[in-house]
Amino acid sequence: MTRLRAEAAPEAPGSQPGLYVHVPFCRSKCPYCGFYSVVDPESQDRWLAALELEAGQSRSAWQPFDTCYVGGGTPSALADDALVRLSELLDRTFSISTGAERTLEVNPADVTPGRARLWRELGFDRVSVGIQSFRATELRWLGRRHDPDQAARALDDLRAAGFGSVGIDLVQGLPGQSLNKRLESLERALAFDPEHLSVYELTVEPNTPLAREVAACRSELQDPDLAADAWLATSEELSRRGYDHYEVSNYARGEGHRSRHNSKYWTLVPYLGLGPAAHSFSGRARWSNVRSVPDYCRALEYAEKPIEHEEELSDEQLRWERVALGLRTSDGITKNELGDGSEELETRAAGLVDQGLAKHAGDRLVPTLRGMLVADAMARCLLFGSKS
Ligand code: SF4
């Protein structure tokens, strides 16, 4: 077994591309989830062989990386020897800079003391744990494989194995969930002092069992105004507890614990995605792989690229994305990113400041908490002069 390789020092921390690997396997499917994954452990060997071919196709155009994020799907659903092979393959193929952030997504039901130690030995220094809720009834409704006690044991095991950067994912806004119940899960998560928290509002993803339930009026999501109030209450509580609310759904215990990898997505730093359904961005072009393990493997076995969709972004599209994504973060956007400094833009920005949705911070325009909630509408207002 080898660790992910440490190579030459980074040129400028955070500015190098990020590497993402999509592990397209889960042990079971959660009814609300729109991410691509299959329950098919038999395909792991073929997928790994195809992934090696895809890595080989990409290596010369993409080095070095300063983040490596193994997500999914459920990476912890991989057999131990498959995860070792995956780490060795990344190590062999790519240059990953000294001090790179290396994240592994794990399901609490898969964590044991031995596996947690293995993940550390493989060089992962950050785990993102899909706990979603600390309430048993909610976990059952979400179709999760674990219960609250397993979640707690998993967090203890990960700490004991030496993970100094632990992120907890929560899903909120379940039908009928009161603010108190939301805060109860949050409180239980905080008892483990996570360095990072992602708190997502439940959304209805197309073609999922939840979407069919909602269409058949068997489930009803929360009223958007109540969800917005709960989001504000969550943010206020976490700020009071020392967390930096740095993106709409993400909180870090200090700037050093922000997700450097995910921050690349919000600041348009290039990233390479490997695996079925993975997305990549070169700084100008964007492409995504086929959402099918067999099609992905077949393409690579025939020495073809497994790409399903690609597009070249225009200057206008890039500007839109930079502004819309930037306003979802507490760093906001620079005046340069906003555009030409015309009087019209200045007037629109001043209008947002007057409404309490944004504020100036040096040469940046940053959203207030209320502004973060309506980041898309603010971007439309700034760039096109309208909110719709
Ligand atoms: S939420 Fe996670 S474990 Fe559940 S189906 Fe989606 S990727 Fe798999």
Provide the pLDDT for residue 9: 34
Q: Which atom of ligand 1 is nearest to the CA of 34?
A: 6
Band of pLDDT at residue 13, cut at 50, 70 and 90: very low
- The arithmetic mean of pLDDT across residues 318-345, rounded, is 89
Provide the pLDDT for residue 66: 97
Q: pLDDT for 202-232, tens place per residue?
A: 988 888 988 888 888 877 778 888 889 999 9
User: Is the confidence at residue 3, as pLDDT, over 60?
Assistant: no
CA of 60 to the centre of ligand 1 (A): 32
Class of domain 315-384: mainly alpha
The pLDDT > 70 percentage for the chain reads 95
Least confident among 6-15, 204-213, 316-325, 345-354: 6-15
Q: How far apart are CA 164 and CA 126, in angstroms?
A: 7
* Strand partners for 245: 251
Provide the pLDDT for residue 14: 60
| 3-class SS string, the chain | CCCCCEECCCCCCCCCCEEEEEECECCCCCCCCCCCCECCHHHHHHHHHHHHHHHHHHHHHCCCEEEEEEEECCHHHCCHHHHHHHHHHHHHHCCEEEEEEEEEEECHHHCCHHHHHHHHHCCCCEEEEEEECCCHHHHHHCCCCCCHHHHHHHHHHHHHCCCCCEEEEEEECCCCCCHHHHHHHHHHHHCCCCCEEEEEECCCCCCCHHHHHHHCCCCCCCCHHHHHHHHHHHHHHHHHCCCEEEECCEEECCHHHCCHHHHHHHHCCCEEEECCCCEEECCCEEEEECCCHHHHHHHHHCCCCCEEEEEECCHHHHHHHHHHHHCCECCCEEHHHHCCCCHHHHHHHHHHHHCCCEEEECCEEEECHHHHHCHHHHHHHHHHCCCC
* Residue the block writes with tokens 């991989």: 78
CA of 141 to the centre of ligand 1 (A): 14
Burial zone of 14 (CB within 10 Å; 0-12 exposed, 13-18 middle, 19+ buried): middle
Q: How far apart are CA 126 and CA 345, in angstroms?
A: 40
- The arithmetic mean of pLDDT across residues 377-382, rounded, is 93
Q: pLDDT for 174-195, tens place per residue?
A: 988 999 999 999 999 999 999 9
CA of 333 to the centre of ligand 1 (A): 33
Whether the model pTM is above 0.75: yes
50 Cβ neighbours under 8 A, 6+ residues apart:
296, 297, 300, 301, 306
The pLDDT > 90 percentage for the chain reads 83
Least confident among 88-97, 208-217, 228-237, 286-295: 208-217
Residue from 22, 37, 200 whose mutation best tests the ligand 1 pocket (most atoms within 8 A of CB): 37
Q: Which atom of ligand 1 is nearest to the CA of 132?
A: 1
**Cβ count within 10 A of residue 51:** 27
Q: How far apart are CA 212 and CA 140, in angstroms?
A: 18
Q: How far apart are CA 244 and CA 196, in angstroms?
A: 9
Where in the chain are the domains?
6-266, 315-384
Q: How far apart are CA 103 and CA 243, in angstroms?
A: 20
- Whether 142 contacts 108, CB under 8 Å: no
- Whether 61 contacts 12, CB under 8 Å: no
Chain CA centroid to CA 308, Å: 21
Q: How far apart are CA 331 and CA 13, in angstroms?
A: 17
Q: Which atom of ligand 1 is nearest to the CA of 77?
A: 3
CA of 143 to the centre of ligand 1 (A): 9
CA of 212 to the centre of ligand 1 (A): 17
User: Is the confidence at residue 37, as pLDDT, over 60?
Assistant: yes
Phi and psi at 203, nearest 5°, equal -125, 155
Cis, peptide link before residue 64, omega less than 30° from 0: yes
User: Is the confidence at residue 338, as pLDDT, over 70?
Assistant: yes
Name the fold adopted by 6-266.
TIM Barrel (3.20.20)
Q: pLDDT for 40-56, tens place per residue?
A: 999 999 999 999 999 99
Q: Which atom of ligand 1 is nearest to the CA of 72?
A: 7
User: Is the confidence at residue 303, as pLDDT, over 90?
Assistant: yes
Provide the pLDDT for residue 188: 97
Provide the pLDDT for residue 387: 57
Band of pLDDT at residue 1, cut at 50, 70 and 90: very low
Residue from 35, 207, 291 whose mutation best tests the ligand 1 pocket (most atoms within 8 A of CB): 35
Provide the pLDDT for residue 108: 98
- Whether 186 contacts 199, CB under 8 Å: yes
- Whether 147 contacts 109, CB under 8 Å: no
What mean pLDDT, rounded, does the chain reach? Answer: 92
